[in-house]
Structure 1
Amino acid sequence: MTAQEQPAGGWMVDGLAHGEVFFASPTLQQRSHGVQGAVRAHEPVSADGIRRLFARAREAGIAQPVLFGLVPFDTARKASFTIAPQLQAAPVPPRGMAAPAGRRPAVLQRQPVPAPEVYGDMVRKALDLYEQGDVRKIVLSRAMDVELDAPIAYADVLRDLLRRNAHGYTFAVPAWEGDAAADKPAAVMLGASPELLVRREGDRVFINPLAGSIPRVADPAEDQARREGLAVSEKDLREHGYVVSDIVRILRDHCDDLDVPEGPSVIGTDALWHLSTFITGRLKNPAISALELACALHPTPAICGFPTAQAFAHIQALEPFDREYFAGLVGWQREGGDGEWALTLRCAKYDGDRRLRLYAGAGTVAGSDPDSEIRETAMKMETFMRAIA
């Protein structure tokens, strides 16, 4: 079934099985049917490798192949790619149509990785590094291992994430390992990212970095005060400026007609207010694909730090676990290069049975408060947990 044969309707999440693909952007939802016959790979990202995957798909009789993928935070590691033999696509229905979830699993155990106080010590070590002067921002993350009393229902979780993530990127994308020939994937990355890294439509590209955030609250007056405070926060504007300036520096090598707003706006998810800058440009070389441009930009200071190389090295030294696909790229691409790649945020790695690893990160700069960063990361993980259990 091709995308053109699928009529518009509701959310296409019913019956989604482990290993099938779902990806929804603000305007388009796509899902696959079945795992058999898919073209899959677990390999480093390369333009030649992507061309080979599309060639394999055509040889397999897939008429209009669409590639879905997960690229690790460390792009030197292997990525996971899937081209499904049957794909449905349709416009996104009104978000209010998302049905409430049914019975959800109960949480049997939670294990923070590392403990919150250890994460606070990581932030303090970053503050010491800022005084030494070689780095100005480091994004530090932590995880939570969760054991449930029953498997999750993908449809229920995705509906809840879609309801909470009205303007974001909601996904369930398989993570294949080894020769990618197993009957089912090693895991599925499941989540609802607020942040678009690159969308390509012909020679036009769209980039929307987020950096600088504050938790929302139920009281409308206090919530509005937080929104207004974020818009003028020196610390958050400085953090956001690092991200935008670095992205623009890289985009100038690839784009003409860059349109960069003078300053950020404030956008909201259900849990957080974010500083946001929406950038558009026209590719100098229309042959560059969405994924190639995304990899040229990745990792941005939004999920790594500034300067990037120094921040990346400090992350490897400070974080006591492997990010794997967290803070990497998740998205899709057509053979001609059009597609969307978001940052793999507000997410979990799910084993298909009863175990998940949740992730969250926060940008730290000089003046950051360790306790605030602990609360921010806890809020991000709790938002995801509300969709599961």
Structure 2
Amino acid sequence: MVHPSTLNDVLPEDRVFPANRPSYVLRSGDETLLAYGVARELPGGAIADLADRVRRHFEEHPTGPDILVGAIPYAREAPAYLLRPEKALRVMGRHELATPAGRLAPQGFGTQVTAEPPTDVFSAAVARGLARLREEPDSLRKIVLSRSLRITVGSDISIPALIARLAVDDAVVTFATPLSPREANLRFLVGATPELLVERRGSRVFSHPLAGSARRSPDAARDREAAEALLSSEKDRREHALVVEQIMDVLSPLCTELQAPDGVTLKATRSMWHLGTRIKGTLKDIGTSSVDLVALLHPTPAVCGMPRIEADAVIRDLEGYDRGFYAGAVGWCDSSGDGRWYVSIRCAEIEGRHARLYAGAGIVPGSTPEGELAETAHKFSAMLEAFGLSAAQIGEA
């Protein structure tokens, strides 16, 4: 077991993110995973047969690190990007993601930010979504609508600097994973997610869905009031219950026992309060892999809606853009079937000088366009701060 003072003591920055060899970082509360180099890429394909392709890969290529890392997009029909690294290192415990002095980013200079869609278009989409919920109460219970911010800076974005800034929040899982290159340009998905989609550890399975959110306040009394208001919000508790219900329904037939505590708990990040429920169970069949579970669960009502097919159709009609890897999953799996996958929210797709940030909000009866616009603005704050920006600077306060 390795216990470096910082991860750069293990792999210096030029090796963690070399210019021509995209690398991977996943830093959670109990471990940090580093991978670098690309030994093999998993052939692309939809999520429906992803688990079979993963099994074949490990059978046909038994040598090398026993791990695949990468990201799964939101759209179930879109290809995932998973790779077998040349080297991988798992460090137990949470370790500092250091960045050399002077590298905390050129991104504050000459920065351009564009909302896509514009805020008024997003608010109109929420209003239309609420109308659909009223018109179809028996077939549509929740939808999740998102919007994005495009950021362009003066020089290439420093991925290590970005994740070092995100990693100041110990309540989130910081990640940076390569995506398939576009026209020979390296792309990364970088973020700080609070939400565990699913983990398989031997016969044990875990999930920690989040739904229902409120902005935190630097004032202790107001912060406590925001948390208490979220806990007592009928609308937010109803939204959260839909997510837990769907995950329990999916996992229950696969488990000999499955537990979710009564009621909800609060999950706090530096910028947001979330309603959360910790689900755990024991699988009937040890042959059910983490990727099998991802394929069954994704996308959950936390990022899509309920029912899934109907909500997804409304999202595609109202959002007007491709989510890409936002609201997908990021994580790892091994040949035994173990793995850990997080929901890829609070994230950005990075390509050279360009970044696209995403944030979404759950729409249920009782939601308002103004409230959901404000929620997405609050959810942008962690990524904006990592770029040295504030919501007020760009009109998102």
Fold conserved (TM > 0.5)?
yes
State how 1:58-69 maps to structure 2 within 5 Å: 58=62, 61-62=63-64, 64-69=65-70
Q: Take 1:262 and 1:297, find their aligned partners in 2: how far apart are those partners?
A: 21
Deviation at 1:8, TM superposition (A): 4.5
Q: Are 2:341 and 1:337 aligned?
A: no
Q: Take 1:113 and 1:54, find their aligned partners in 2: how far apart are those partners?
A: 40
Q: Take 2:300 and 2:185, find their aligned partners in 1: how far apart are those partners?
A: 28
Counterpart of 2:120, as a letter, is E
CA contact (8 A) 1:39 1:53 kept: no
Q: Take 1:319 and 1:68, find their aligned partners in 2: how far apart are those partners?
A: 29
From 10, 21, 25, give the equivalent of 1:22: 25
Q: Take 2:74 and 2:259, find their aligned partners in 1: how far apart are those partners?
A: 27
Q: Counterpart of 1:198?
A: 198
Q: Take 1:242 and 1:275, find their aligned partners in 2: how far apart are those partners?
A: 12
CA contact (8 A) 1:10 1:93 kept: no
Deviating more after overlay: 184-193 vs 255-264: 184-193
Counterpart of 1:303, as a letter, is V
Deviation at 1:259, TM superposition (A): 1.1
Q: Take 1:38 and 1:250, find their aligned partners in 2: how far apart are those partners?
A: 32
Cα-to-partner distance string for 1:206-234 (whole Å, 9 max, x where unaligned): 10000000011111100000101111100
Q: Are 2:73 and 1:72 aligned?
A: yes
From 6, 10, 13, give the equivalent of 2:6: 10
Q: Counterpart of 1:50?
A: 54
Cα-to-partner distance string for 1:60-116 (whole Å, 9 max, x where unaligned): x41x32101211111111110111011122123366989997244125211111000
Cα-to-partner distance string for 1:241-275 (whole Å, 9 max, x where unaligned): 11111111111111121111111101110110000
Counterpart of 1:375, as a letter, is A
1:42 aligned counterpart, secondary structure:
coil
Aligned CA RMSD, in angstroms, stands at 2.1
Cα-to-partner distance string for 1:280-315 (whole Å, 9 max, x where unaligned): 000011111111112101111111111222111100
Q: Counterpart of 1:143?
A: 148
Deviation at 1:52, TM superposition (A): 2.8
Q: Take 2:277 and 2:324, find their aligned partners in 1: how far apart are those partners?
A: 27
Q: Counterpart of 1:31?
A: 34
Q: Take 1:333 and 1:219, find their aligned partners in 2: how far apart are those partners?
A: 41
Q: Are 2:166 and 1:161 aligned?
A: yes
Q: Take 2:95 and 2:350, find their aligned partners in 1: how far apart are those partners?
A: 28
1:21 aligned counterpart, secondary structure:
strand
CA contact (8 A) 1:39 1:57 kept: no
1:345 aligned counterpart, secondary structure:
coil
Q: Take 2:324 and 2:291, find their aligned partners in 1: how far apart are those partners?
A: 18
CA contact (8 A) 1:11 1:98 kept: no
Q: Are 2:127 and 1:124 aligned?
A: yes
Deviating more after overlay: 17-26 vs 319-328: 17-26
Deviation at 1:47, TM superposition (A): 2.4
Q: Counterpart of 2:93?
A: 92
TM-score norm. by structure 2 comes to 0.89
2:300 aligned counterpart, secondary structure:
coil
Deviation at 1:44, TM superposition (A): 2.6
1:211 aligned counterpart, secondary structure:
strand
Q: Take 1:328 and 1:219, find their aligned partners in 2: how far apart are those partners?
A: 34
1:176 aligned counterpart, secondary structure:
strand
Deviating more after overlay: 209-218 vs 89-98: 89-98
CA contact (8 A) 1:349 1:358 kept: yes
Q: Take 2:3 and 2:267, find their aligned partners in 1: how far apart are those partners?
A: 31
Deviation at 1:136, TM superposition (A): 1.8
Counterpart of 1:83, as a letter, is R
Counterpart of 2:142, as a letter, is K
State how 1:309-324 maps to structure 2 within 5 Å: 309-324=309-324
Deviating more after overlay: 203-212 vs 287-296: 287-296
Cα-to-partner distance string for 1:106-127 (whole Å, 9 max, x where unaligned): 2521111100010000110011
Deviation at 1:187, TM superposition (A): 1.4
Q: Are 2:290 and 1:294 aligned?
A: no
1:120 aligned counterpart, secondary structure:
helix
TM-score norm. by structure 1 comes to 0.91
Counterpart of 1:120, as a letter, is S
Counterpart of 2:167, as a letter, is L
2:262 aligned counterpart, secondary structure:
coil
CA contact (8 A) 1:80 1:177 kept: no
Q: Counterpart of 2:347?
A: 347
Deviating more after overlay: 357-366 vs 14-23: 14-23
Counterpart of 2:172, as a letter, is G
Deviation at 1:343, TM superposition (A): 0.5
Q: Take 1:9 and 1:87, find their aligned partners in 2: how far apart are those partners?
A: 18
CA contact (8 A) 1:21 1:31 kept: yes
1:374 aligned counterpart, secondary structure:
helix
Deviation at 1:345, TM superposition (A): 0.4
Share of identical aligned residues, percent? 33
Change (3 A) 1:185 1:279: farther
Deviation at 1:14, TM superposition (A): 4.5
CA contact (8 A) 2:175 2:190 kept: yes
Counterpart of 1:48, as a letter, is D
Q: Take 2:81 and 2:105, find their aligned partners in 1: how far apart are those partners?
A: 31
